[in-house]
Amino acid sequence: MNAKAAKTQPSSPLDKAEFKAAIVKHLHCTLGTDENKANNHAWWKATCAAIQAQVLEGLRKTQKSHYFNDTRAVHYFSAEFLMGRLLSNNLQNLGLFDVASGALKELGVEITDIMEEEPDMALGNGGLGRLAACFIDSLATMELPAIGYGIHYEHGLFRQEIKSGAQIERPDSWRDYGNPWEICRPESIQEVPLFGYVETKYGESGRIQKEWHPGSIVKGIPWDIPVVGYEGKTVNVLRLWQSDSSDYFNWDVFNAGGYVDAQRENVQAETISKVLYPNDETEAGKELRLIQQYFFCSCSLKDIIRRYKRAHGDDWSRFADQVVIQLNDTHPAIAIPELMRILVDRAELDWDQAWGISTKVFAYTNHTLLPEALEKWPARMIEKILPRHLEIIYEINHRFMAEVDKKWPSDNRIKAKLSIIEEGNEKMVRMGHLSVIGSFAVNGVAEMHSRLVKSDLFPEFDALWPGKLTNVTNGITPRRWLKACNPELSKLIDKKIGSDWPKDLYKLEALEKYADNKAFQKQFMQVKLNNKQLLADEIRESLDIEVDVNAIFDVQIKRLHEYKRQHLNLLHIMALYRRLLENPDYDMVPRVFIFGAKAAPGYKLAKDIIYAINKVADKINNDPRVNNKIKVVFLPNYRVSLAEKMIPASDVSEQISTAGKEASGTGNMKLALNGAITVGTLDGANVEIAEEVGDDNIFIFGLTVEEVHELKEKGYKPYDYYYRDPEIKAVLDWLETDYFTPGKPGALVSIKQSLLDHGDQYMVLADFRSYCDAQIAIDEAYRDKARWAKMAIINTAKMGKFTSDRSIKDYVERIWKLSPCKIEN
């Protein structure tokens, strides 16, 4: 092939001139505009189209290689994928960022401006959804055959506006002007049955056969989003299902006299994938939510089986060798009875054979111990929507109870405790139990969390099947969470230790030897300062608040939840404010407290806490007596793209959940990787972060899990803290006045009530004093510039363990047993 021909190969990396030509071509031919007329949105779309051409070539080669090598693959089932923006990430992973930015510059366009045009793909609530996004990035980077399966929500997580301090939810319309990354695949549409009834038949051999006559059928349309691995070799897909009405008319139900039922039960097919449920860590129990779960699991399983059959026909004996399915929490647990239904009713395998396959295919990740997040569905609801699945669940449970009886003969208490069915006023199906019973591996997401899963949540399951319950500590992709979001720090690191750290994060340890080096400290902290300046500009633009970049930027970014204790942070801010009012010379390093958080729309107290933060912020920010020593900033509409701006600019990372409540946390890892120092409890992955960075480089405070348990046992009395600690009393009483809400006394009282009258479930008051002490230690540490710089460098240097590549390696070696597949040209 001559040089010219080689250049025209779309898969060879483009140079600047070619990139420029490609952008202009798409401006003309795809968007029908030109260089003079194009606005930033058009430039963004044309740039994406130019990249997508390369990406699709990689995708084609990947799929071909996977097919010809007949690879075993992992299928990551998740109701949420919080992808954020893809332009900068795809460019970084393809190694084309500088080329693209140079090409655009020559066309008179700033890449950073057009990046702002991209709406976030906010198809998730928080940590669980973002983890799925980091995992698929790692899977592609590590050249592992993998596919993400989820829901193509028309509206992702709501857009948050703040009006007079309160959260207002607005619909998110991420696809209103089209999404340049996704491809519709009508050739792979699936049909999903719902409702109806089950007919029992007797076959010739006397075999009982079940036939489900659905009351309605909906269509699942797949949209593929290419997932580009770092260095661009493997391009996997994220396949998201959109629902639509089916052309199918249900003669079965009609003929069986079920016409009226069929009409009544006909869900509006399009509504299934309309919206993401905005509840994080709470189980909503809504019929539509169960339908969403079944809808994407059923489409995905059929898609997997279609692909398997293409290679293996009706021979099921190799299915479990080729297919592993990871259940991201219990949201996709209904896939277990669905696979059983397909194997038993459709493929006509006998039960034991089917169960043997099924329990080699599924593995389940638990992400929380919070009781309100453990999914349970009324048996009646499952019976109505998925009548055959309820029968299968009963059968699984019946056989499981026999196994329990062998281990604990005639122990009805244990049976009731372990049963998939919770008896009571209303029979409930426990999806966690179904997941543990139907999977070959169950993992928690941090050492401490996995220990508690074994000891507190599923101790009997651990006794019954030793070794099944295990740990895989979470991780984050350093491509997005350092290389792409913090280009200045990345370049500094490249210069110092070389540029192979994004694929081998332990390489960052080489920075440790420069932690005391004055010149490097200066460079490292200069980058931080520059990032703080960028965030300060953003804060000015969005809120008209001036913040001093020499102040400590103290950041708490995560969903708003009582267990995450944003109100502990707030009470400390109020205490500082009070100290300043009492003593104008109160000595403290100026601090900017920055929050980002969405509250579930129905979670009243969480919304009250947002309101309180904003009201306290108004007062403090405008009180001249504070002398700019404290600023409080609540940045609205916290999302992935905002996190990418906040994290590089943070000095302090607030990870202050009640010990035992945060399964892992992943924001803690992102912030530490970017040189922020953690103030945190011994909870979730904070414990492992502390182990990595060492006690001198983290501020740990508060009760341990054991102490939390002891105090609960003993009888926790929040009023004791209120009466004993005058500062606690003063700030709580302050909430009752109209000081922060002029003319509206009592507007913030619900927070005080939750902490006193409602028992302070998350022990905010018990940890308050120790938190204040940790904050004083932070203040002292920051005054010593060299000490702080050293701590920050060590935090970055010691984050090797928390790359999602390491998490994926753990899954691969211990659970999935996958091998990488080289992509042939």
Give the active site residues. 367, 558-559, 564, 666, 670
Task: Tell me the window of 119-127, 311-319, 454-462, 811-819 that interacts with ligand CJB (CB under 6 A).
Answer: 119-127
Of residues 285 through 344, those in contact with ligand CJB by CB under 6 A are 329
Question: Minimum distance between the CB of residue 104 and ligand CJB, rounded to whole angstroms?
Answer: 35
H/E element, 594: strand 591-596
Question: Residue 680 CB, nearest distance to ligand CJB (Å)?
Answer: 12
Task: Work out whether 678 is an interface residue with ligand CJB (CB under 6 A).
Answer: no
By CB under 6 A, is residue 131 in contact with ligand CJB?
yes
- Which residue, among 56, 43, 140, has the nearest Cα to 100 in the 3D structure? 43
H or E element that contains 405: helix 387-407
Which of 119, 126, 148, 332 is the binder for ligand CJB (CB under 6 A)? 126
Which spans in 514-655 are helix H?
A: 518-543, 566-582, 604-621, 640-646
Nearer to ligand CJB, 258 or 684 (CB): 684
Nearer to ligand CJB, 93 or 450 (CB): 450
The least distance separating ligand CJB from the CB of residue 279, rounded to whole angstroms, comes to 8
- Residue among 129 and 215 whose Cβ is closer to ligand CJB: 129
664 contacts ligand CJB (rule: CB under 6 A): yes
User: What x-and-dash track marks residues 684-723 binding ligand CJB by CB under 6 A?
Assistant: x---------------------------------------
State the DSSP H helix or E strand holding residue 666, giving kind and residue range, or none if neither. none
Q: Which of 119, 222, 478, 665 binds ligand CJB (CB under 6 A)?
A: 665
Least Cβ distance, residue 132 to ligand CJB (angstroms):
9
Stretch that binds ligand CJB, among 355-363, 367-375, 384-392, 731-739 (CB under 6 A): 367-375
CB nearest ligand CJB: which residue?
127
Residue 196's beta-bridge partner residues?
Answer: none
User: Taking the complex as a whole, how short is the minimal distance between the CB of residue 330 and ligand CJB, in angstroms?
Assistant: 9
Q: Nearest distance from residue 616's CB to ligand CJB, in Å?
A: 26
Beta carbons of 185 and 213 less than 8 angstroms apart? no
Q: E strand or H helix at 359, and its extent?
A: helix 351-361
Could you give the 3-state DSSP secondary structure of residue 12?
Answer: coil
Which one of the spans 108-116, 661-669, 724-732, 748-756 is the region binding ligand CJB (CB under 6 A)? 661-669
- Window contacting ligand CJB (CB under 6 A); options: 121-129, 217-225, 291-299, 300-308: 121-129
Contact criterion met (CB below 8 Å) for 183 and 224 = yes
Query: From the CB of 667, what's the least distance to ligand CJB, in Å?
Result: 8
Stretch touching ligand CJB by CB under 6 A, among 120-128, 169-177, 215-223, 546-554:
120-128
**What is the helix (H) or strand (E) element at residue 208, kind and residue range?**
strand 208-213
Find, among 820, 818, 823, the residue nearest to 75 by Cα. Answer: 818
Check: CB of residue 658 under 8 Å from CB of residue 565.
yes
The verdict on 283 binding ligand CJB (CB under 6 A) reads: no
- The span of 114-122, 127-135, 480-488, 632-640 binding ligand CJB (CB under 6 A) equals 127-135
Q: Does 128 bind ligand CJB (CB under 6 A)?
A: yes
273 binds ligand CJB (CB under 6 A): no
User: x/- site string to ligand CJB, residues 417 to 446, per CB under 6 A?
Assistant: ----------------------------x-
Question: With CB under 6 A, what is the number of residues at the site for ligand CJB?
Answer: 19
Give the integer Cα–Cα distance in Å for 32 and 28.
5
Tell me which of 78, 330, 439, 666 binds ligand CJB, using CB under 6 A.
Answer: 666
> For ligand CJB, which is the closer residue by CB, 167 or 368?
368
User: To the nearest whole angstrom, how small is the minimum distance from the Cβ of residue 456 to ligand CJB?
Assistant: 16
Give phi and psi for 325, each to the nearest 5.
-120, 120
Of 123 and 217, the one with the shorter C-beta distance to ligand CJB is: 123
Q: How far is the CB of 367 from ligand CJB (least distance, A)?
A: 3
CB of 126 to ligand CJB, least distance (A): 4
CB nearer ligand CJB, residue 304 or residue 679: 679
Cα diameter, the chain: 92
- Nearest distance in Å: CB 666, ligand CJB: 5
CB nearer to ligand CJB: give 567 or 790. Answer: 567
Measured from the CB atom, the residue of 368 and 653 that comes closer to ligand CJB is 368
Q: Rule CB under 6 A: say whether 632 interacts with ligand CJB.
A: no
DSSP H/E element including 810: helix 804-811
Nearer to ligand CJB (CB atom), residue 127 or residue 432: 127
Task: Tell which residue, 153, 267, 257, 286, has the closest CA to residue 217.
Answer: 267
Report the candidate in 479, 563, 490 with the shortest Cα–Cα distance to residue 524.
Answer: 490
Candidates 662, 688, 760, 805; binder of ligand CJB (CB under 6 A) is 662
57: Cβ contacts below 8 Å, ≥ 6 apart: 10, 11
> For ligand CJB, which stretch binds (CB under 6 A), given 39-47, 124-132, 198-206, 702-710?
124-132
683 lies in the binding site for ligand CJB (CB under 6 A): no
Token pair belonging to 570: 């707030």
Candidates 277, 281, 167; CA nearest to 609 is 167
Q: Which stretch binds ligand CJB (CB under 6 A): 194-202, 508-516, 656-664, 719-727?
A: 656-664
3-state secondary structure of 166: strand
Beta carbon nearer to ligand CJB, 118 or 662: 662
Out of 117, 118, 154, 281, point to the residue binding ligand CJB (CB under 6 A).
281
207's CB contacts (< 8 A; 6+ apart) are none
Contacting ligand CJB (CB under 6 A), which of 368, 614, 653, 674? 368
Q: Answer positive or negative: Cα dihedral of 339, 344, 349, 355.
A: positive
Please identify which residue in 85, 367, 790, 798 interacts with ligand CJB, judged by CB under 6 A.
Answer: 367
Token pair of 23 as six digits: 């952008």
Name the E strands within 656-733. Answer: 677-680, 699-700
User: Smallest distance from the beta carbon of 363 to ligand CJB, in angstroms?
Assistant: 15
Three-class secondary structure of residue 808 per DSSP? helix
Q: CB neighbours of 562 closer than 8 A, spacing ≥ 6?
A: 605, 606, 609, 754, 761, 762
Residue 572's alpha-carbon distances to 186, 320, 579, 769, in angstroms, are 55, 54, 10, 9
- Rounded distance between C-alpha atoms, residue 83 and residue 275, angstroms: 16
Write the DSSP symbol of residue 378. Answer: E
Closer Cβ to ligand CJB, 363 or 663, answer by number: 663
Residues in the chain: 825
Whole-number Å distance between alpha carbons of 399 and 415: 12
- Contact indicator for 231, 138 with CB cutoff of 8 Å: no
Phi and psi (nearest 5°) for 448? Answer: -65, -40
- Identify the residue among 58, 119, 127, 502 touching ligand CJB (CB under 6 A): 127
How far is 231 from 228, CA to CA, in rounded Å? 8
Q: Is 373 in the site for ligand CJB (CB under 6 A)?
A: yes
CA–CA distance, 515 with 669 (Å, rounded to integer): 19
CB-nearer residue toward ligand CJB: 148 or 232: 148
Query: With contact defined as beta carbons under 8 Å apart, do 374 and 340 qualify?
Result: no
Q: What are phi and psi of 653, to 5 degrees?
A: -110, 115
Choice between 308 and 563, CB closer to ligand CJB: 563
HSE, CB side, 13 Å, CA atoms: give it for residue 379.
Answer: 15
User: Least Å distance between CB 258 and ligand CJB?
Assistant: 37
Residue 474 as a binder of ligand CJB (CB under 6 A): the answer is yes
Q: Report the half-sphere exposure of 795 (CA within 13 A, side-chain side).
A: 32
d(CA 531, CA 152): 34
**Which residues contact ligand CJB by CB under 6 A?**
125-128, 131, 280-281, 329, 367-368, 373, 445, 474, 662-666, 684
